[in-house]
Amino acid sequence: MYKNSLSLLLFAIFLSCNTFNTVAQKKSKNGIKVEKSDHISVSPKLVVGIVVDQMRYDYLTRFWNHYEDDGFKRLVNGGFNCKNNHFNYAPTSTGPGHTSIYTGTTPATHGVIGNNWYDKETDQVVYCASDDSFNSVGTTTDAGKMSPHRMIVTTVTDQLRLHTQMRGKTIAIALKDRGAVLPGGHTANAAYWFHGMGEGNWITSTFYMNELPNWVNDFNTSNAVEEYEKPWTTLKDINTYLESGLDNNKYEGLFSGQSTPTFPHDLPSLWNTNNKYELIKASPYGNSITADFAIAALDGEKLGVDTITDFLAVSFSSTDYVGHKYGVNSKEIQDTYVRLDRDLARLFKALDKKVGENEYTVFLTADHAAIHVPAYLKDQRIPAGYVEAGSLMKKLSEFMKYKYGTTDLIKNISNYQLFLDHDVINNLDMQLGDVQEEIARELLNNKDIDRVYTARQMWQNEYTEGIPYILQKGYNQKRSGDILMVLKPGTISYSVTGSSHGSPQIYDTHVPLLFYGKGIRKGSTTSRTEIPDIAPTISVLLGIAFPNGATGTPITKVYK
Ligand SMILES: [Zn+2]
């Protein structure tokens, strides 16, 4: 189950030495001209990192026949497809996901242990990207008070900046602040995100600049966003969407004011009752706006115009909002991917034109996947369900009262972790490890909980496979909790409509990973790859230092 950590370290060093040899050999065997200063790297003018929020691997295969040749298929057919790519930690959520992709490591090392988490030092719940020491730029609200300060390591984007003496630019773009701030790293020239509500503008933080550049102001004052204030109809005839369930079903959520979750979704008539521009975020038009803005950034930020490599990090967030509302099997999710395929094609076409067809390198992945709606699975007689949190907490309180004479032992429960009050435990003269184990055993009596682990186990063991390995990679000694809970496969803590994510189960970990463009060969693999491999893979391609906490391994098969 676990190994001596020194031998593991030596093994890892041995493995990575071998990896580098393979890269160098493969390159010379293929007859690529080797220059002394550039013997194992290529210099695309631009690297484009694309993260699709909540994209399952099977969205590539399930909707394949609806994609055109110049979107997803362009990457799959002309690039390298890692078909067995996984998150190797939990919680599988957006903040940790984007951070792990760009840092080449996991929450155990980079410190972003959730979107939100309970901060033991300050006794407060914190948000992964918030930073009150900075101000908003482009909005009168607090939506711009962000920075990457809670991420304690560097990103591949930081390393590119350091490598190029800050001459290579990093621009990060997403509807969600965390989808832009974390990929941009500590040295981004800019991260831009979208503030919906009544404003509908791209904004940033004083962490990056004091005023929006002209091109962003121009975009905001144009009608580029308002153009999408229109009904959401399916792009193709809905009767051709045979790869998803019925349009009208009980597994889907509603916008406020709607009576059925069916097409067309009339955004203009729902506008005022659903926080205005927030509606666009929750439709595929949010992805279109993201593509529009990313294309505008190519000119606006002069990306990929010289020989010094720049980095554009783009994250498409609407896929997550749509998944949460309608679920994995909905017509809405199918249409969202059919439309994203078109938005990707537009982005690639703009890159061809502005940067040059063989002058850029792309990777595309996701920040986590998602579960089928458990209520739907249940109706198909597949074991699935929802946690009854109320009765779980009631039983736990009764246990603590009986066992310890107090119910004041729990500080916080978040991301399926329980944080104990260490002061109370000290005052009662109890051993922390013992209390962790006793409460963990009690929790295991609950019908929805499949496994429990304690912080003591996470500290003392070195897990190498399965669920405990995934939990340990997400376990940060300074930040994580005392007891880790894993729900039964198919069980979530969520509404009975829509899909969610966050677990270490395979339906939340399996996501696409595609590489395409300069330096990338055509092909595919079914060997397991893991999210932290992405940043080292890009680092080797560019010949730059790895992010300083990187634990992943370069995927050598992708190189030309
Ligand atoms: Zn989500």
Average pLDDT over residues 235-245: 98
**Distance, CA 138 to ligand 1 centroid (Å)?**
26
Question: Which of 4-8, 230-234, 517-521 is predicted with the least confidence, judged by mean pLDDT?
Answer: 4-8
Residues belonging to the active site: 94
pLDDT in tens, 9-40: 444 433 333 333 333 344 444 444 444 344 56
Mean pLDDT of the chain, nearest integer:
93
pLDDT in tens, 376-415: 999 999 999 999 888 899 999 999 999 999 999 999 999 9
Token digits of residue 291 = 């593509």
Dist CA 113 CA 106 (whole Å): 9
Tell me, what's the pLDDT at 391?
87
Number of neighbours of residue 442 by Cβ within 10 angstroms: 18
**Distance, CA 321 to ligand 1 centroid (Å)?**
7
| 152, pLDDT greater than 90 | yes
Tell me, what's the pLDDT at 38?
45
pLDDT in tens, 184-227: 999 999 999 999 999 999 999 999 999 999 999 999 999 999 99
| Cα end-to-end distance, the chain, whole Å | 37
**Distance, CA 16 to ligand 1 centroid (Å)?**
34
Average pLDDT over residues 93-119: 98
**Distance, CA 50 to ligand 1 centroid (Å)?**
17
500 φ, ψ to 5°? -140, -165
Identify the CA nearest to 8 among candidates 554, 551, 557, 556: 551
Tell me, what's the pLDDT at 390?
87
Percent of the chain with pLDDT over 90: 91
CB 297 within 8 A of CB 171: yes
Dist CA 321 CA 498 (whole Å): 10
pTM for the full predicted model:
0.92
**Distance, CA 430 to ligand 1 centroid (Å)?**
38
Average pLDDT over residues 345-362: 97
What pLDDT band is residue 81 in, cutting at 50, 70 and 90?
Answer: very high
Identify the CA nearest to 171 among candidates 163, 36, 160, 331: 160
Average pLDDT over residues 93-111: 98
User: DSSP strand E in 142-219: where?
Assistant: 170-174, 190-195, 201-205
Tell me, what's the pLDDT at 212?
98
Dist CA 444 CA 396 (whole Å): 11
What pLDDT band is residue 464 in, cutting at 50, 70 and 90?
Answer: very high
Average pLDDT over residues 230-257: 97
CB 97 within 8 A of CB 366: yes
Tell me, what's the pLDDT at 41?
83
Average pLDDT over residues 109-135: 97
| 174, pLDDT greater than 90 | yes
**Distance, CA 408 to ligand 1 centroid (Å)?**
31
